[in-house]
Structure 1
């Protein structure tokens, strides 16, 4: 049993954790509550950790401290690297957990960490993760991290701290189905929480020096038999939501569009502290949207969209000393600028989609299920755009937090990055269609956000497993119709299901229909659906795209 963690032990913890994620990533992928083959939480966690370890090694080699880094250097470099290698929402949350752990270690100044410091670091990790999510939700990785920290609090020995944290996290993970009905209905635990349990299990193994008999172990989160389904779930009309620990992210799908906030307020804030920053976040969150408060402990960067710019600045005065204040009124932006002033970085899941975005003038980053772009890749693409302002289109709900992390990191480098919360490729295409490279980012953003948020979206795919959905039970191989992110139709025929999805998307009208064919779409499927739309909706213009995206034979959009 180790009594203290050294820098070498932390390196070993990271390597053991990476091996655990590699071994069980498919199992965690399968926990995704959707019965569609794009669940990649485990893959995202593994790739986040794997790329971070490579980045740390490379950085330490350049500095000549490989194998000789201090405990503080080891923890801090891993936390910094993970923010940029984070893939998917779960990867971003995990990066914040590691960052919080590193902050506690760094502030201690200790050359090695005893049980008391590790318990404090686990508490800081949980605190950092909860703060990273504007509207947190119970039954996610956040609940698991809090339970681990609470279980370890007050203990002193390294062994008992790691055992207690693992036990607390495992018990909390087992409770996530009772906290989120969608998990209970699917018969699974939270995928992001399962990943955190693996991280803590790796820590316990290192503390026990790989002893064969750990007092506790990770929940067998792949075993559905221990979780009871709720038979009346579909009858209650519950809506399937992706749950991999992200809870809810910041609001703002309609920022700057019709009825959206009128002003963008940005300033640097000095002479503050964590408590006042927390109060500032709550105040600004109530005032508007698109809230970002990043930095610390000596300097913070504040960004928010509000109707009352004065109140946003006054909140900063109460929190510290704001300077370099910039207020922009969306409606008053006039004049034209050179094309180099603004650029778009767009994620694309298939070669056809990539070609469309490229032809429209975007810098494209390959990103899709199983290979989602990391925050670092998105930031690198923003750098390569060589523009004063960059508009980022994630085009995927599970890349939103990585995009926001890239924007936060970009602000630290002086790169102005704005994120349009496009949750699907068709919303990204709608936003790109109104982009004008001769206008500033402030002029483009309201139109792009409005166009994306006004696009109703759907998809057709094949069920990858048996499951209970809000449209009833499905079997592996069934055709699933998805409307607005929820399984709405279960059938056997691709075209029939596609027609029903389109019928629902067009139920309240529509002027432009976009049909994106995937790599597995049967020949003629998209054309047949287009003819059906044109026959019944003569006022609608139909656009066909050979997207080449995996997993989804059809992506559908209606504007």
Structure 2
């Protein structure tokens, strides 16, 4: 026997079923992702969004259906990731509003049709420049299909919504040029259809076990054949915004939201502002990240920031080509722009040192697509090393053998990169890297975040700290004296032939050149190399 109404138990089972289905198909949805940006994260974003909804029902556990639906809507909005995630959150909002208004707090056939229509209206209003052929089109079709059967049974409404949504989804391939070229359906729309299909199985279960997934439909088994880097379908020069910016906004009102919408619409595209009245979710693609954040600060209290650089996401998905001679994949995990460029010049795959979950997932997928059994991860900082740890775990869970050098830092990164040749076997490569690091002594200059005591005296907040192999050997208020002491100590205490100076983002313009000149006078036989690292340090020094 099928369900006649949706009660609290059915709502919970819908969320669980949707989460399970998205977990199963997230990778397939990612493979469809070409619009508005081919960053292969729509499936992941939707999964993370529904994860947030599950957290609401798990921890709040209200006995009242209306309260549960309201909690669900708020949690989904707060957890929303990406354009499609924000739009999906409006489905939860529509359901919540209908349930709160229902005297018996049950979602009937007509109530579900009403909820889907409200959700569609909210979704379309939240998008600054709606585009046909996207999740919005699919949501509209689902609402229209449900409305045509609103006088029937709950199952009839759900089936009509699912079938109409599937037809609209298949048609998206011809509605957007980027989808037509790639030969796929819209990724966000695909995710919405999966969520609606999970509801259909819950209703059909009649309160019993929800039947398992069948074979995926044909539209979900395809993979984008053509990928562009356009951020908009009509962007003829292909030079769209470089960043995705998301944040939550509180302490605001409709008038300020309208003003914010106008500002962000001028700054970028793919603008979605949803929610209210207390909390709003803001999503936009821009080049001017600072402008987008300042606009949010002027409109209220922004929080829970997420900033993604599309080039990093796309580069992670499309690594350099692997030749037939490649035996071990070298992956550079770095937060120094100059070292990222250095690795790319060597045709190595690069992952950002602060890569989030989506970027790491893209990197793992790209690594596995090479079908190589062995991977060497090299990192340029403690933060990058933490990201490499997460990558290592994810790769090992997928059966990939991962090698890690015993040290990380800007100079160690450069040394490892120089001797790690892809045609080597994993053990040969690791041996070469270990040998290079054994012969290397390093120093690092950073800026003190707080005042602290050292054996060399008090280092003030904002002061320059000089370390050799992790031990503080000099502090001061100026970079040059501290750098000179670190360099001279390294050179004088070791029999070395080469010195590498990696200038960070906090380095004075002439620091590295001044040190090289000084070393040339005092040690004319030394070979001194300067690298523009640009990382979050003053200077990294290596001698060998």
TM-score (norm 1): 0.47
Rg larger for: 2
1 or 2 for the larger relative contact order (CA 8 Å, sep ≥6)? 1
